[in-house]
Amino acid sequence: MIQRSLLQIQEMLQGSGLLEIQYSFNITGVSIDTRTLKPQNLYVPIKGERFNGHHFLDKAIEQGATATLWSINEPKPNVQDFPVIYVQDTLLALQQLAHEYRKQLKTKVIGITGSNGKTSTKDILAAMLSKKYRTQKTKGNLNNHIGVPLTLLELKEDTEMAVVEMGMSAKGEIEKLAKMAALDVAILTNIGEGHLDTLHSKENILQAKLEIVTGLKEDGLVVFNGDDPYLQHGLGKRGALPHTIESKTFGMKSAHSIYPTAFVTEERGVFFTINDLNSPRIFLPMLGKHQMINALGALVVAKHFNVSYAHIQKGLNHMEVTGMRNEWIQLDDFTILSDCYKSDPMSIRASLDILYGVKGFTSKIVVLGDTGQYDVSLHEKLGKELSTQHIDYVLTVGSLAKHIAKTAATRFSQGHVIFCADQDELLFEIKKVISKGSIILVKGSRGNQLEHTVSKLMELSLQKVS
Question: Annotation-wise, does 360 bind a ligand?
Answer: no
d(CA 331, CA 433): 17
- The answer to whether 114 is annotated as binding is yes
Q: Is 118 helix (H, G, I), strand (E, B) or coil?
A: helix
Q: Of 433, 403, 390, 400, give the one whose Cα is nearest residue 415.
A: 433
The CA distance from 465 to 332, in Å, is 14
- Identify which of 253, 262, 316 has the alpha carbon closest to the alpha carbon of residue 286: 316
The one-letter amino acid at 381: K
Report d(CA 185, CA 219) in Å as an integer.
Answer: 9
Residue 172, marked binder: no
Q: What angle do CA 399, 401, 407 make, to 5 degrees?
A: 120
d(CA 299, CA 259): 10
Nearest CA to 165 among 341, 365, 384?
A: 341
Is 415 one of the annotated binding-site residues? no
195 φ, ψ (degrees, to nearest 5):
75, 15
Q: Contact at 8 Å (CB) between 106 and 91?
A: no
Rounded Cα–Cα distance for residues 140 and 154 (Å): 13
Nearest to 246 by CA among 269, 216, 266: 216
Q: 15 a known binding residue? A: no
Please give the DSSP secondary-structure letter assigned to residue 396: E
No. of H helices and E strands in the chain?
16, 21
- 118-130 and 309-317 are packed helices; what angle lies between their axes, rounded to 10 degrees? 120
Q: Is 278 annotated as a binding residue?
A: no
Are 155 and 104 contacting, i.e. CB atoms less than 8 angstroms apart? no
CA distance 248 to 251: 11
Nearest to 337 by CA among 347, 346, 405: 347
Three-state SS for 262? strand
Alpha-carbon torsion (353, 354, 359, 360), positive or negative: negative
DSSP state at residue 66: S
Q: Residue 137 carries which side chain, given as an amino acid letter?
A: K
**In this structure, what DSSP letter does residue 285 have?**
-
Q: 119 among the known binding-site residues?
A: yes
Report which residue type is found at 77: P
User: Could you tell me which residues are beta bridge partners of residue 260?
Assistant: 274
Annotated binding site: 114-120
Annotated binding site for ATP: 114-120
